[in-house]
Amino acid sequence: MRSAPWFSTLAPHAARLTDAHLADLVRDDPGRATDLSVRVGPLYANFARQRVDRAAWAALLAVAQARDVSGALAALFDGHPVNRSEQRPALHTALRSDLGAGDTARAAFAEASATRERMAALVAALDASGVTDIVNVGIGGSDLGPRLALDALRDLDRGRFRVHFLSNVDGNAARHVLRGLDPARTAAILVSKSFGTQETLLNGSILRAWLGDGERLYAVSSKPDRALAHGIAPERVLPMWDWVGGRYSLWSAVGFSIALALGMDGFERLLAGAALMDAHVRHTPAEGNLAVLHAMVGIWNRNGLGYGTQAILPYDDRLARLPAYLQQLVMESLGKRVAQEGEPVHTATVPVVWGGAGTDSQHSFFQALHQGTDTVPADFIGVLRSPHGFEDNRRALHANLLAQSEAFANGASDADAQKAYPGDRPSTMLLLDQLDAESFGALLALYEHSVYVQSVVWGINAFDQWGVELGKKIAASLLPAVAGDDVPVDDAVTRVLLQEMRTRG
Ligand code: F6P
């Protein structure tokens, strides 16, 4: 793939650094250990173990400037139609901070605030009811954010409700979630921005029938009329808006289940943490702007060094779902091969995002990270203070976190080739003071902004996802055949597979 014009200034640095070993870069310039680090509130980031030197770092910042990243960030916050294919703004920042200038951003902020008041009233009413269990029915952005948040912030759960998540259209998921629940004590929230998602509508129908009446059925949607048509009472339908992308929506009423678990107070603290990151990103020049630096490191690894994947390695059990959440955030946002106006991009874009929690992952896929033929850049994420009180475990966890990052970078020689470690595996270290609602909100907002900045450099739209439509369309067209109707099926392989399903199923 030939390279985009903006890449020409990076190319010489990439050529120069391709054979430079990370351990040598750090040894020759020890000051980078502190200089390539940034703190934003409770979040500290260190980029010293990325395969850049100061000249390459400066060149990356120059690219950010040449691509007018700061103008693009202003456009995002101010509600310009940055989602060009759908002619919409992407105002997830207005769900948590009043930083946008102009009527569109201000109106969004006002609507989000009014919706939180309605949410608070519904939380209070459910608190006062006999409901013990909540089922969040949604998929993708209507599931992954709340699911991650409740896992990550489990220590802050008020314990008022047990919250369950139902996403997969596989009926086994519904059977598993409903087993042991009492319909008289359960409320369901149907979360779907479009209220047209097959999985959520089917699972929603199961819940509606299982609950028996609509009294404990709630909805969150940008198409409230569709929710009403499903028999959900207007007072239990919370709005969403087309100016919030699904994968950026946990800060909206999509986070109703988060508010039920943590209380409105906890939910507001989550938003405050994201707002802290928003303010930093909105007002800080590129050289000290954490989201811009994180994004430019992503660009460097993808385009400068040609790495095709990115590992997310949280060293905290409560963040085990973070890689799954970031898979949608990054890959649905950046998985594009044409630029905003439809012309082909001339560089590689999205990396494959994957990962898992340390230390578990050390005993599964780390072998490949240390000695495999591909280099996988990693984001390590550590949490400094935890409430569990098991001090020996904390020390072991932190020692492993430090050790792995060091081993990735430096490697180790050995006369026996089987036992030698090449090292030179780049990583970023992100450290949170603690995993509370604020720092968790700040962490997710950092990744959101980093994704946006990368999209700006690549010239692509981070807020549409046309690539998911074809599969939905073909699935809809195949439904009659799967149901057993004698309808023509064009594709020869699908015909054979269908036959196999029919005879053996
Ligand atoms: O199919 C992809 C997608 O549109 C995601 O972008 C979205 O988060 C998910 O489906 C769920 O969509 P909805 O909230 O409209 O049900």
pLDDT tens-digit map of 402-424: 999 999 999 999 999 999 999 99
**How do residues 416-445 score in pLDDT, each as one tens digit?**
999 999 999 999 999 999 999 999 999 999
Residue 292 has pLDDT above 80, yes or no: yes
- Rounded Cα distance between 387 and 473, Å, is 48
Kindly give the number of the ligand 1 atom that is closest to the alpha carbon of 472.
1
DSSP 302: I
CB-based contacts of 21-27 (< 8 A; 24+ apart in sequence): 21/423, 21/424, 22/49, 22/51, 22/409, 22/410, 22/423, 22/424, 22/425, 22/426, 23/409, 23/410, 23/411, 23/423, 23/424, 25/51, 25/52, 25/53, 26/409
Do 380 and 427 touch, CB atoms closer than 8 A? yes
Nearest alpha carbon, ligand 1 atom 10: 140
Residue 1 has pLDDT above 60, yes or no: no
Mean of the per-residue pLDDT values of the chain: 97
**How do residues 155-203 score in pLDDT, each as one tens digit?**
999 999 999 999 999 999 999 999 999 999 999 999 999 999 999 999 9
Radius of gyration of the chain from Cα atoms?
24
Q: Which of 13, 193, 268, 332 is catalytic?
A: 332
- Rounded Cα distance between 424 and 422, Å, is 6
Which CATH number is correct for 92-266, 3.40.50.11540, 3.40.47.10, 3.30.420.480, 3.40.50.10490? 3.40.50.10490
**Total residues belonging to the chain:** 505
- Rounded Cα distance between 78 and 74, Å, is 6
C-alpha 352 – ligand 1 centre gap (Å): 20
C-alpha 199 – ligand 1 centre gap (Å): 10
For residue 136, what are the β-bridge partners?
165, 189
- Rounded Cα distance between 42 and 442, Å, is 8
Classify burial at 2, counting beta carbons within 10 Å of its beta carbon; exposed 0-12, middle 13-18, buried 19 or more: exposed
Ligand 1 pocket residue status of 382, Cβ below 6 Å: no
- Rounded Cα distance between 179 and 166, Å, is 12
C-alpha 138 – ligand 1 centre gap (Å): 8
Look at residue 401 and give its three-state secondary structure: helix
Q: Write down the pTM of the prediction.
A: 0.98
Q: Which of 147, 167, 247, 465 to mutate to test the pocket of ligand 1 (most atoms within 8 A of CB)?
A: 465
Residue 454 has pLDDT above 90, yes or no: yes
**How do residues 222-263 score in pLDDT, each as one tens digit?**
999 999 999 999 999 999 999 999 999 999 999 999 999 999
- Is 363 among the catalytic positions? yes
Residue 213 has pLDDT above 90, yes or no: no
Beta pairing, strands 217-221 & 186-191: parallel
- Rounded Cα distance between 370 and 490, Å, is 46
Kindly give the number of the ligand 1 atom that is closest to the alpha carbon of 144.
8
- Is 472 among the catalytic positions? yes
Go through 340-373 and write b for each residue having 16 or more CB atoms within 10 A of its CB, e for each that does not.
beeeebebebbbebbbbbbbebbeebbeebbeee
pLDDT at position 505 is 84
Nearest alpha carbon, ligand 1 atom 2: 468
For residue 430, what are the β-bridge partners?
45, 381
Do 99 and 112 touch, CB atoms closer than 8 A? no
C-alpha neighbours within 13 Å on the C-beta side of residue 443 = 33
Q: Region 217-224: what's the mean pLDDT?
A: 98
Q: With pLDDT > 70 as the criterion, what percentage of the chain qualifies? A: 100
Closest CA to 7 of 303, 226, 297: 303
- CATH for the stretch 5-66+284-464: 3.40.50.10490
Whose structure tokens read 């390695």? 313
- Rounded Cα distance between 161 and 150, Å, is 12
C-alpha 83 – ligand 1 centre gap (Å): 16
